[in-house]
Structure 1
Amino acid sequence: MTLNDFLNGSWTIRDLRAGPFRDCIDLYSDRLRNDGYSTVTARYSVRIVNGFIRWLTERHFDRRNINEQLAARFFEDGDRGCRLRGGDPAAIGRFVEVLREAKIVAPALPLPSSPTDQILERFRAYLDHRHGLNARSCAAYVKFTRPFLRDMSITGPGDFAQLTTADVLGYVERRARDASAATAVAMCSRLRSFLRYLQVEGLIANDLAACVPSVKKWRFTALPTYLSAAQLEQVLQHCDQNTASGRRDYAILLLLSRLGLRAQEVATLTLDDIDWRAGQFRIQGKGRQQAIMPLPPDVGAAIAAYLQSGRPVSDRRQLFLKAYPPHSGFPPTSGIRDIAGRALRRAGISDIAHRGSHIFRHSLATELLRSGAALTQISQVLRHKDHDTTRIYAKVDLASLRTLSQPWPGGVQ
């Protein structure tokens, strides 16, 4: 039985359509259909929604009173009249969401924010409006600031006046002791920004940002992790292009490996970004910078195959969607990173230090260098603003490095 057959022929749905919730169940059926849920999921979802509606009717609740709190009471009621399954809370949550979108029930009440949350929200707004940082960067600053407020026992704006240089130095020493050099550098940078914000807002009198020490971190000391051409081909071959998710993953891996895109740039691609006639597409790069990229034939063919027989039917404009309902797009980085990690595991590649999506970007740069491309050309392909970022790849060009090595004094050892 198809989903449409079930939604059109279910006796439960027919009974609900004959009652006071008829418009609600029609909206819910449309949501199940549009989000691509399976017939089995739809059957269980309709079953628990029917139980919820019966429970509301028996207790004389008006449908305008439906919200998450009322749903929680339903699940806690031992006399609800129906058994519960693991996915039932999510099904009722979708039902409430549908009613809220249709303005049948009141908007969700904002969660009460603590004084700490209010401080962090004002700091986030400052970073956004004053410095123009994007949402991900603002979230990173807030992430490093929250532990500082907790350790300093800050419960309100008035507590900042008690901060001293010794407090700040003690916090940095404790936190940096167990952190990597990169994490310590980021923590100190974020803490300086927050302390400057406090001084701008008049919450502290002294320039405590000046007392935050610098953490020494040598640049370009590590070697970039990369895949050989054979390993890269092995990863691509292990994508099962007979499945929808396999076609999706194959297209994503080609974008990462052939063009060196970052995970965020792949996740934020939309259907409107691709110009098929011109053979190019637009990406949203770092620092809110847009770039026009060429669309190689093999990459374009992989994307087309996914669009024709792989991408779920959806109103969403993101190019790549999750394979399972509700077929949403991927988070900015974690989703693409997970796809890359699974692809490496499928190919049996485990002897590498890093298993995220960035390894494909490193692999492209390394292959270009070994093919004779200049560092300035590689910098343009990878869209590096700082040419020093590209120079790290010179370390893996052993053939060129051998020509620079000096003979051992006294002869061959």
Structure 2
Amino acid sequence: MHSKQAIPDFEARLAKVQDVWRDNRSLKQATIGQYLYWIRRFYHYCMAEALSPDEQLTQVGVNIFAQWYARQRQVDTECTCEGAQSALRAWAFGLSALGVKVPPWQAKVDGIFQPEPQLQSFAEHLRQHRGNPEGTIRKKLAHIRYFLAFIGTRHRSLQDLLLTDVDAFLMACRERYARTTTADIGGSLRRYLRFLFVTGQVSSDIASFVVTPVIHRYEQPLRALPWTDVLRILESIDRRTPIGLRDYTLLLLMSSYGLGAGEVIRLTLDDIDWRAATLRVVRPKTGVAFVLPLLPALARAMVSYLKHGRPRRTPTRHVFLSMRAPHYPLSASSAIRHMLVGYARTAGVTAAYLGSHVLRHTHACRQMELETSSKVISDILGHRSPESLSAYLRIDTQHLRQLPLPVPK
């Protein structure tokens, strides 16, 4: 490790990793300079401590290095850890792309999500009998953990649970969360209490007495934008950068087909059939796949992104990736929401709601205005019944003025 050949070998490897970063078009030169600083400090730290730089290249190993560095320089530990983690994770990705065997950055847990023993049977019930996807199961279990922690502060067990405890919990939720969230938590709790009673874990059935906020249908403002605002948002995206190419293609895809965030972030390169000009999409909740025609404008945007925007060396075949190493797929709708809000601000577009679902609602409203068949719209949106389209209805005041209504005398 301490041979004279070690440093030249390290510098040669460093040059090759920089080529990987540049090939992936994901890092600016200034960022590469910052990364090189941390990588060299890490390498010399490992040499001084007689450690293997490759073996220490894990989240735990880098944290130990960052804490040591912060003590030596008497600087902020949190900022030091953040900078070192970003740089050395990108270093680990570059080495892996070159064929160097590096340890997993984090310990991996195989298999499907496994909750604590107390909630395993309920999770299996949701999975097997309710048909809930893993994301929904995680959300419901989070609600139940919150409830169990609450009754724990009241020194109450599930066996001697009272309805007043449930009411107090929901009142606490209402003070902390929006009405829709409180209603969602209440629904999870009602399901859990009924499960406990049916399986004989509690003797009283109080599920039916759980009262949650009433959310009237269509009481929320319509989550849709005028189509002209969507065009302004798309035009505001700088497609001269890899990030701009990715974001433009993703938002164009959502607005053109009315796809949700969960459908878009699951797309892989294998879902694109260039010969047939089709796009295969999988519903995240049901796992049902369907095929859409690959529209010419979208095909051109996709080709441009794949050629000039998407990182070339990645650990996944997902289409839309983080531009930061190790370039994992976008994992949550929040990333798309932040993306949409930022470009809307640039375009000067304001709205009461700018969540990741707004383009789906906008697409549905636009198709209805174009008098597209309700069956076609429902099939594209994945609705079981065309009646679900009623959620997207809105009053078009311009068309309303043209209706020949009788004038009262």
TM-score bracket, shorter-length normalisation: 0.7 to 0.9
Matches within 5 A, 1:225-264: 225-264=223-262
Aligned position for 1:52: 45
Mapped partners of 1:223, 1:155: distance in 2: 38
Please give the per-residue CA displacement for 1:135-157, whole angstroms capped at 9, x wherever unaligned. Answer: 2111211222222111100799x
Letter in 1 for 2:232: Q
Aligned position for 1:334: 334
Residue among 81, 88, 93 paired with 2:84: 88
Query: SS of the counterpart of 1:283?
Result: strand
Aligned position for 1:7: none
Question: Does the CA contact (< 8 Å) of 2:241 and 2:309 recur in 1?
Answer: yes
Structure 1 position 213, deviation (Å): 2.2
Question: Does the CA contact (< 8 Å) of 1:223 and 1:392 recur in 2?
Answer: no
Question: Does the CA contact (< 8 Å) of 1:365 and 1:393 recur in 2?
Answer: yes
Please give the per-residue CA displacement for 1:328-354, whole angstroms capped at 9, x wherever unaligned. Answer: 22113122222222221111101x111
Please give the per-residue CA displacement for 1:13-62, whole angstroms capped at 9, x wherever unaligned. Answer: 952577xxx8xx999987776565664255224313313312431xx899
Matched, 1:303 2:302: yes
Aligned position for 1:380: 379
Query: SS of the counterpart of 1:162?
Result: coil
Matched, 1:274 2:265: no
Query: SS of the counterpart of 2:234?
Result: helix
Query: SS of the counterpart of 1:368?
Result: helix
Aligned position for 2:141: 142
Structure 1 position 128, deviation (Å): 2.7
Mapped partners of 1:273, 1:327: distance in 2: 19
Query: SS of the counterpart of 2:394?
Result: helix
Letter in 2 for 1:335: A
Matched, 1:355 2:346: no
Aligned position for 1:284: 282
Letter in 2 for 1:136: G
Please give the per-residue CA displacement for 1:142-175, whole angstroms capped at 9, x wherever unaligned. Answer: 222222111100799x932121222223322342
Distance 1:221 1:374, change over 3 A: farther
Distance 1:51 1:30, change over 3 A: same
Mapped partners of 1:78, 1:253: distance in 2: 42
Structure 2 spans left out of the alignment, 5+ residues: 110-114
Letter in 2 for 1:338: H
Letter in 1 for 2:256: R
Mapped partners of 1:222, 1:124: distance in 2: 31
Structure 1 position 282, deviation (Å): 0.9
Mapped partners of 1:12, 1:386: distance in 2: 71
Structure 1 position 299, deviation (Å): 0.7
Question: Does the CA contact (< 8 Å) of 1:268 and 1:332 recur in 2?
Answer: no
Query: SS of the counterpart of 1:131?
Result: coil
Bigger shift: residues 289-298 or 386-395: 386-395
Matched, 1:320 2:320: yes
Query: SS of the counterpart of 1:219?
Result: coil
Bigger radius of gyration: 1
Structure 1 position 368, deviation (Å): 1.7
Question: Does the CA contact (< 8 Å) of 1:68 and 1:96 recur in 2?
Answer: no
Structure 1 position 78, deviation (Å): 7.0
Please give the per-residue CA displacement for 1:363-382, whole angstroms capped at 9, x wherever unaligned. Answer: 22222222223434432332
Aligned position for 2:6: 15
Please give the per-residue CA displacement for 1:209-263, whole angstroms capped at 9, x wherever unaligned. Answer: 2221253221123442322232222122112222222221211121111111111
Query: SS of the counterpart of 1:242?
Result: coil
Query: SS of the counterpart of 2:279?
Result: strand
Structure 1 position 70, deviation (Å): 5.7
Distance 1:255 1:72, change over 3 A: closer
Mapped partners of 1:292, 1:255: distance in 2: 14
Mapped partners of 2:157, 2:58: distance in 1: 37
Distance 1:14 1:91, change over 3 A: farther
Aligned position for 1:345: 345
TM-score by length of 2: 0.78
Mapped partners of 1:398, 1:294: distance in 2: 33
Distance 1:212 1:49, change over 3 A: same
Letter in 1 for 2:132: L
Mapped partners of 1:138, 1:277: distance in 2: 38
Matches within 5 A, 1:106-145: 108=107, 117-120=116-119, 123-145=122-144
RMSD: 4.0
Query: SS of the counterpart of 1:395?
Result: coil
Mapped partners of 1:151, 1:304: distance in 2: 52
TM-score by length of 1: 0.77
Aligned position for 2:173: 175
Question: Does the CA contact (< 8 Å) of 1:263 and 1:358 recur in 2?
Answer: yes
Mapped partners of 1:374, 1:147: distance in 2: 44
Letter in 1 for 2:6: D
Letter in 2 for 1:309: H
Letter in 1 for 2:41: I
Structure 1 position 307, deviation (Å): 0.8
Question: Does the CA contact (< 8 Å) of 1:48 and 1:91 recur in 2?
Answer: no
Aligned position for 2:392: 393
RCO higher in structure (CA 8 A, sep ≥6): 2
